[in-house]
Amino acid sequence: MTTIPDLAGLRKLAAEPCPHDGTPVNCTACAGDAKAGTQEEARRWAAIRATAECDKRFPRRYVHAIADHPDVLGWVTRFVADPKESPSLLVVGPTGVGKTWQAYGALRAAVVATSRRWEASTFADFTAALRPGGKDPEGTLRAYRRADLMLIDDLGAAKHSEWVEETTYRLINGRYEDMKPTIFTTNLPLADLREGVGDRIASRLVEICTRVVLTGGDRRRASA
């Protein structure tokens, strides 16, 4: 059974140079040793590489994110146990309650434990990347649709229009049809989801998502 790994320990290992040539993580000799070794050694090496990839690709502010909300951790456990049958995750709450922190923490724990392919984007950046005239918008959409796990932060934040709704629907419906789980965060209250993202999208989110509602004040203002 796959378990959630020691993320702090793996981050330390990912930063250490290998004994062969001093190259962190990506040494081909280390890869060969892991492949030739036991299943446990191969899994450990894959987890170290996944950890390094998260450190490289995560926004700097969320590199140290850890999922510690019980319901978010419950979703991580379900994903790790069976990534292909896992539900999606929808983290809801007002500004500043830690939704993005929990989402990136959940993403890290899930992909480090399973070595699945992943993508992450804010909703605003996603819609900007797919606008006509951009750099290969259809290729970007395909990459997002095909990822084993996707994080979409701040769903509904872009200005609502028919184009935004249709583009969002193409992504979410594609992942819905292929049963690929997605981590969403949104400031939209559940009661306002249909108005904010459209009926077709809201209906799919209600069907496929484990919902976690975060409450509290804006932590950013409290620390100012």
Output the CA torsion sign for 127, 130, 133, 136. Answer: positive
Specify the pLDDT at position 127: 92
Specify the pLDDT at position 128: 92
Distance CA(111)–CA(165), nearest Å, equals 29
Q: pLDDT for 59-115, tens place per residue?
A: 999 999 999 999 999 999 999 999 999 999 999 999 999 999 999 999 999 999 999
Tell me: pLDDT of 205 over 70: yes
How many angstroms from the chain centroid is the CA of residue 109? 9
Q: Residue 180 contacts by C-beta under 8 Å, 6 or more apart in sequence?
A: 145, 146, 147, 148, 149, 150
Tell me: pLDDT of 213 over 70: yes
Percent of residues, the chain, with pLDDT higher than 90: 59
Q: pLDDT for 112-168, tens place per residue?
A: 999 999 999 999 999 999 988 778 899 999 999 999 999 999 998 877 788 989 999
Phi, psi of 150 (to 5 degrees): -130, 140
Specify the pLDDT at position 33: 61
Average pLDDT taken over every residue of the chain: 86
Tokens for 116?
């699945």
Specify the pLDDT at position 1: 44
Tokens for 9?
């320990």
Residue 160 or 202, more confident = 202
Specify the pLDDT at position 157: 84
pTM: 0.85
Q: Residue 52 contacts by C-beta under 8 Å, 6 or more apart in sequence?
A: 14, 15, 24, 25, 26
Specify the pLDDT at position 126: 93
